[in-house]
Amino acid sequence: MDKTYPSPEEAIADVEDGAVIAIPGFFAAGVPRVLLQALIKKGVKNVTLACGCGPLLGAVDELTQLVENKQIKKVIDSYGLFRSMTKGLQDPFEQAVRAGEIELEVYPMGTLAEKYRAGGAGIPAFYTPTGVGSIVEEQVVSNVPSSQAMKKETRIFDGRKYILEYALKTDFAFVHAYEGDREGNLRYRRTAVNFNHVMATAGKVTIAEAENLLEPGDIEPDFVHTPGIYVQRVVKVPRLTFNIGID
Amino acid sequence: MPSKFEGLPREMIAMRAAKEVKDGDYVNLGIGIPTLISDWIEGRDIILQSEIGMLKTGPIAFGEDVDQDLINASCQPVTQVPGTAYFDIFESFSMVRGGYMDVIVLGALQVSEKGDLAGWANPARGLDCVGNIGGSMDLCAGAKKLIVTMEHTTRDGQPKLVNELAFPATASGVVNMVFTDLAVIEVTADGLLLREIYPGLTPEDIQSVTEPKLIIAPDLKEIEL
């Protein structure tokens, strides 16, 4: 079995307008930036980028380009805005959110992790204590009124309140691996793993960009992080330099 | 109106809060003043969890030690130390929500008399209903002991310790202790207990910048660093 593609452009060739794409990365760590650049080049519109913790702040050049090209319909994230209000006001993404041109749907980070995990694991929904006592318990948190109108269900277990949250399965997942073999087994490096593994399981089609493309067997079987069954395509990419630090 | 009283700088708030963490504790530090606590616990037997997916987070990295694949949850480059473990985000939040952390330290925009915490959305930003929740609500949901470190008032002198939250809540009834530039306050079933006070200030001074009625500890003392 050989899942390798010759280029990022060919690996994402069937991504169409309106696609929902999981984008892992935690600020600057583990973001699939080369695949995002291919998405910009392809120019598809109305995409939903399902994130975990601010990968688009870690890849702000790509984010700005996607916003300027009007390719994004919606972003799902726990931390999608710059921490600094001053910087946020100048950020084209935040400006588009303020204008209602892009939807921002917000969840607690652990709830998002569990939504992707459940999506990949065949579990349609789950109860979590996270968010009880906040607006998260009442409704979907979003800048768009029709989403705000979606109310949440709660239930008491052993005297404590929990919120029903739904699984999230995406059309595609773009993931960033340190090593990937031709059959799709992946390994991540240090804190760059973050959302990459759970999102690889949540994508109907998972496309991995790998800094190092290896032969089957080169990754010690004991140390495979994401087994190849979750990964449909692998493409070799250069190791890009990230600007560490967000405001 | 500017801040009414001169108190501890941010680093010293962190230093005082660090004393509240015991050897053997697993601890998660939020963005802002909480992160500064790591400077005061080096060499102690305390393990820092970073929700990005790291246990036993080492000191901040400089120069050649900076590795773009190794950052903490505040997006600062950090180092690994003997005993460090990496894991994915699902595992990380299993630890957090599952109640394995001994101490959680967060910043706050407001804390209420009942220990409600507001920190994820500042209405002054003018973004209707959205903001950065990050891991804060998960940390509150799983906290055994939740400490808040913050300035006692806003920059224009408004109390941040309030009767009822005016800002969007992160969680309700979760805060145990509050360390500010002016005071150390415990959240009790009877209300806010003033336990330590910045040298030179009186309980009346603290009350004048605190909305809820303070209970004065019988053994009230100066902040011990």
Task: Compare CB distances from B97 to A130, A225, A241 and report the shortest one's residue.
Answer: A130
Residues sharing a CB contact under 8 Å with residue A52, sequence separation 6 or more, in sequence order: A24, A25, A26, A77, A78, A109, A112, A113, A116, A194, A195, A199, B89
- In a shared domain, residues A153 and A232: no
Task: Compare CB distances from B53 to A88, A94, A193 and report the shortest one's residue.
Answer: A193
In a domain? residue B1: no
Q: What is the 3-state secondary structure (H, E, C) of B88-135?
A: CHHHHHHHHHCCCCCEEEECCCEEECCCCEECCCCHHHCCCCCCCCCC
Average pLDDT, chain B: 95
- In a shared domain, residues A81 and A180: yes
Chain A contact present for B131, CB below 8 A: yes
Tell me the one-letter amino acid at A150: M
In a domain? residue A21: yes
CA distance B114 to chain A (A): 12
For chains A and B, what is the number of CB pairs under 8 angstroms? 175
| B51 annotated active-site | yes
What residues in B contact A78, CB-CB < 8 Å? Answer: 132-135
- In a shared domain, residues A42 and A147: no
**CB distance A165 to A114 below 8 Å:** yes
pLDDT tens digit at each of 247 positions of chain A: 999 999 999 999 999 999 999 999 999 999 999 999 999 999 999 999 999 999 999 999 999 999 999 999 999 999 999 999 999 999 999 999 999 999 999 999 999 999 999 999 999 999 999 999 999 999 999 999 999 999 999 999 999 999 999 999 999 999 999 999 999 999 999 999 999 999 999 999 999 999 999 999 999 999 999 999 999 999 999 999 888 876 6
Select the residue from A130, A140, A148 to test the B interface by mutation, using most B Cβ atoms within 10 A.
A130
Long-range (24+ apart) CB contacts under 8 A made by A144-147 are A144/A100, A144/A103, A144/A105, A147/A103, A147/A105
In a domain? residue A115: no
- In a shared domain, residues A75 and A12: yes
pLDDT at B3: 66
In a domain? residue B85: yes
* Chain B, window 13-52: residues with a beta carbon less than 8 angstroms from a chain A beta carbon: 31, 50-52
- Give the number of domains in chain A: 2
Residue identified by tokens 């997006």 is B75
- Residue A179 CA to residue A129 CA, distance in Å, equals 36
- Residue A175 CA to residue A195 CA, distance in Å, equals 9
Q: What is the side-by-side strand order in the sheet with B117-118?
A: B117-118, B110-112, B161-162
- In a shared domain, residues A131 and A60: no
- Residue B77 CA to residue A156 CA, distance in Å, equals 41
- Residue B90 CA to residue B39 CA, distance in Å, equals 28
Chain A contact present for B60, CB below 8 A: no
> Among residues B20, B42, B51, B64, which one is catalytic?
B51
- In a shared domain, residues A83 and A201: yes
In a domain? residue A20: yes
Q: Are strands B110-112 and B161-162 parallel, antiparallel or unpaired?
A: parallel
Using the 8-state DSSP alphabet, how is residue B63 labeled?
Answer: G
- Residue B52 CA to residue B75 CA, distance in Å, equals 9
Q: What is the pLDDT of residues B16-40, one digit of tens each?
A: 999 999 999 999 999 899 999 999 9
CATH at residue B23: 3.40.1080.10
- In a shared domain, residues A187 and A154: no
- Residue B31 CA to residue B51 CA, distance in Å, equals 11
- Give the number of domains in chain B: 1
- Residue A206 CA to residue B223 CA, distance in Å, equals 55
* Chain B, window 179-218: residues with a beta carbon less than 8 angstroms from a chain A beta carbon: none
In a domain? residue B143: yes
Structure tokens at A137: 């318990």
What residues in A contact B75, CB-CB < 8 Å? Answer: 26-28, 58, 244-246
In a domain? residue B130: yes
In a domain? residue A225: yes
Task: Compare CB distances from A191 to B86, B120, B131 and report the shortest one's residue.
Answer: B86
User: Whole domain around residue A154: which residue ranges?
Assistant: 126-166
**ipTM of this complex:** 0.96
Select the residue from B133, B154, B165 to test the A interface by mutation, using most A Cβ atoms within 10 A.
B133
* B50: β partners: B54
In a domain? residue B40: yes
CATH at residue A174: 3.40.1080.10
pLDDT tens digit at each of 225 positions of chain B: 556 899 999 999 999 999 999 999 999 999 899 999 999 998 999 999 999 999 999 999 999 999 999 999 999 999 999 999 999 999 999 999 999 999 999 999 999 999 999 999 998 898 878 999 999 999 999 999 999 999 999 999 999 999 999 999 999 999 999 999 999 999 999 999 999 999 999 999 999 999 999 999 999 999 988
- In a shared domain, residues A77 and A162: no
Using the 8-state DSSP alphabet, how is residue B64 labeled?
Answer: G
Chain B contact present for A132, CB below 8 A: yes
- In a shared domain, residues A99 and A131: no
Q: What is the pLDDT of residues A215-230, one digit of tens each?
A: 999 999 999 999 999 9
Q: What is the pLDDT of residues B66-87, one digit of tens each?
A: 999 999 999 999 999 999 999 9
Q: Are strands B183-188 and B177-179 parallel, antiparallel or unpaired?
A: antiparallel
User: Whole domain around residue B33: which residue ranges?
Assistant: 10-220
* Chain A, window 76-115: residues with a beta carbon less than 8 angstroms from a chain B beta carbon: 78-81, 83, 85, 88, 94, 97-98, 104, 106-111, 113-114
- Residue A104 CA to residue A48 CA, distance in Å, equals 10
- In a shared domain, residues A145 and A49: no
Report the candidate in B121, B193, B97, B179 with the shortest Cα–Cα distance to residue A104.
B121
- Residue B165 CA to residue B117 CA, distance in Å, equals 8
Residues sharing a CB contact under 8 Å with residue A159, sequence separation 6 or more, in sequence order: none
What residues in A contact B72, CB-CB < 8 Å? Answer: 191
* A176: β partners: A209
In a domain? residue A246: no
B133 to A30: CB separation less than 8 angstroms, yes or no = no
For B171, list phi and psi in degrees, rounded to 5. -165, 160
A134 to B137: CB separation less than 8 angstroms, yes or no = yes
- In a shared domain, residues A15 and A100: yes
What residues in A contact B73, CB-CB < 8 Å? Answer: 26
In a domain? residue A131: yes
- In a shared domain, residues A68 and A133: no
Using the 8-state DSSP alphabet, how is residue B222 labeled?
Answer: E
What residues in A contact B66, CB-CB < 8 Å? Answer: 244
Three-point CA angle B83, B88, B91, nearest 5° = 85
Q: What is the 3-state secondary structure (H, E, C) of chain A?
A: CCCECCCHHHHCCCCCCCCEEECCCECCECCCHHHHHHHHHHCCCCEEEECCECHHHHCHHHHHHHHHCCCEEEEEECCCCCCCHHHHHHCHHHHHHHCCCCEEEECCHHHHHHHHHHHHHCCCEEEECCCCCCHHHCECEECCHHHHCCECCEEEECCEEEEEEECCCEEEEEEEEEEEECCCCEECCHHHCCCHHHHHHHEEEEEEEEEEEECCCCCCHHHCCECHHHCCEEEECCCCCCCCCCC
